[in-house]
């Protein structure tokens, strides 16, 4: 990190603290909403699904706003919105108010991710971007590894305290960026569209981006919320205690692998070989899914998770590099916002997998996911043929 500018260093530290603030409440949110509003698990799932779906759609317009205004100031606003929203959850009693707060919080999280990608692209030379993104992604995984443990410990002292602490961390993170001036002029990199509709027309007419986003959506069905469908599968095929033990081991395996290897793998990615990397990552996803379907011991599950995680470590920076290569200088936020629509796949995944587990033999879920991964990877590889590797 010492090789990067002050803005990039502060941005990476902020990414870590923001992830910790969200990870603090991740294991507690379902139970908290159930107790707060008297909802059953199905209704809580529906409520969270509405929030994620709404935030994903709003992020498309958010990307357009990011292109037109000071990205650093917008990131500060997203941190403030997220922090205030998390604190308000502890006081909200009305279902509609809770839904609104969750949508605002999820939207702020999505816009922070889009804005941070745009800043990395705007302020780094081409050769450093994917390395910086991989390092940033490693830091966020460290946050997801330690955040839930801290949240559970704090909740043992006071059930609502994790939400207040998480909100305070998000708001406090603003100060990391307040003293840093932007290093690139967002208006100087090209002519911008005059309206949001103009931007949508540009995105719609960019067939490469449309095809790639569709491929990402299918791929995200597989890796976006994999912990949810793995839990669903294990609850059908194993006892509750076996499910808890297996998931704990799988999450630890995933986190340790990403933290140790993500930056090293990210350094190897090159624009001129992007299609090969995407194809390789997709193959690893399929190998991991088949491994899950055949696993009959904890070691077998962990080996399959290691293979699956290798695919994850390739696909995430490869997606960033693809959009960075494709997006015009003046529309980076809009393009990252459009690519973020692929997150809808993560929202659909538990629904689809639950249906398959109810109506088909349990292992067939993994074969269906493998087919979707193959199709998504194929669409991404095909769209990659249309990209001319240029130095921007």
Question: Above 80 in pLDDT, residue 272?
Answer: no
Instruction: Domains for the chain: give ranges and CATH numbers.
Output: 1-182 (1.20.1250.20), 196-391 (1.20.1250.20)
Asked if 40 contacts 34 with a C-beta cutoff of 8 angstroms, the reply is yes
pLDDT digits (tens, 9 = 90+) for 6-32: 888 889 999 999 989 988 887 677 778
The CA distance from 46 to 39, in Å, is: 10
Question: Above 90 in pLDDT, residue 63?
Answer: no
Closest C-alpha among 379, 114, 103, 348 to residue 220 = 348
pLDDT digits (tens, 9 = 90+) for 318-352: 888 888 888 888 888 888 888 888 888 877 887 78
CA terminus-to-terminus distance, the chain:
23
194-to-158, 325, 331 alpha-carbon distances in Å: 50, 23, 12
Asked if 212 contacts 326 with a C-beta cutoff of 8 angstroms, the reply is yes
- Write phi, then psi, for 292 (nearest 5 degrees): -60, -40
State the pLDDT at residue 187: 44
State whether the Cα torsion 348-354-359-365 is positive or negative. positive
Residue with tokens 């317009």: 61
Highest mean pLDDT, choosing among 33-47, 89-103, 263-277: 89-103
Closest C-alpha among 337, 220, 342 to residue 282 = 220
Token digits for 163?
């939400």
The CA distance from 264 to 374, in Å, is: 25
State whether the Cα torsion 159-164-165-170 is positive or negative. positive
Query: What whole-number percentage of the chain has pLDDT above 70?
Result: 93
């Amino acid at each position: 990190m010492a090789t990067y500018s002050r803005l990039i260093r502060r941005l990476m530290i902020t990414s870590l603290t923001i992830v910790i603030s969200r990870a603090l409440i991740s294991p507690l949110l379902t139970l908290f909403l159930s107790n707060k509003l008297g909802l059953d698990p199905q209704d809580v799932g529906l409520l969270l699904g509405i929030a994620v779906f709404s935030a994903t759609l709003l992020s498309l317009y958010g990307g357009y706003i990011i292109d037109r205004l000071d990205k650093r100031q917008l990131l500060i606003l997203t941190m403030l919105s997220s922090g205030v929203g998390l604190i308000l959850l502890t006081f909200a009693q009305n279902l509609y108010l809770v839904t609104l707060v969750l949508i605002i919080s999820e939207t702020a999280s999505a816009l922070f991710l889009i804005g941070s990608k745009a800043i990395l692209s705007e302020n780094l030379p081409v050769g450093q971007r994917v390395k910086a993104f991989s390092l940033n992604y490693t830091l966020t995984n460290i946050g997801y590894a330690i955040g839930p443990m801290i949240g559970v410990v704090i909740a043992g002292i006071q059930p609502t305290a994790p939400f207040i602490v998480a909100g305070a961390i998000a708001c406090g993170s603003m100060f990391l960026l307040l003293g840093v001036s932007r290093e690139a002029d967002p208006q100087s990199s090209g002519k911008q569209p005059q309206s949001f509709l103009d931007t949508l027309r540009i995105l719609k007419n960019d067939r490469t981006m449309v095809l790639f986003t569709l491929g990402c959506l299918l791929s995200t069905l597989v890796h976006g919320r994999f912990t949810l469908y793995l839990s669903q599968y294990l609850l059908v095929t194993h006892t509750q205690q076996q499910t808890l033990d297996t998931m704990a081991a799988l999450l630890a395996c995933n986190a340790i692998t990403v933290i140790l290897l993500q930056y090293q793998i990210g350094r190897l990615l090159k624009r001129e070989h992007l299609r090969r990397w995407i194809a390789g990552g997709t193959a690893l996803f399929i190998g991991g899914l088949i491994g899950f379907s055949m696993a009959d011991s904890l070691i077998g599950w962990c080996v399959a998770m290691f293979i699956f995680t290798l695919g994850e470590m390739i696909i995430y920076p490869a997606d960033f590099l693809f959009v960075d290569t494709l997006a015009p200088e003046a529309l980076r936020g809009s393009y990252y916002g459009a690519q973020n629509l692929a997150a809808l796949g993560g929202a659909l995944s538990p629904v689809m997998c639950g249906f398959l587990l109810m109506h088909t033999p349990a292992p067939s879920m993994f074969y269906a996911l493998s087919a979707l991964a193959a199709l998504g990877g194929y669409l991404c590889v095909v769209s990659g043929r249309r990209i001319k590797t240029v130095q921007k």
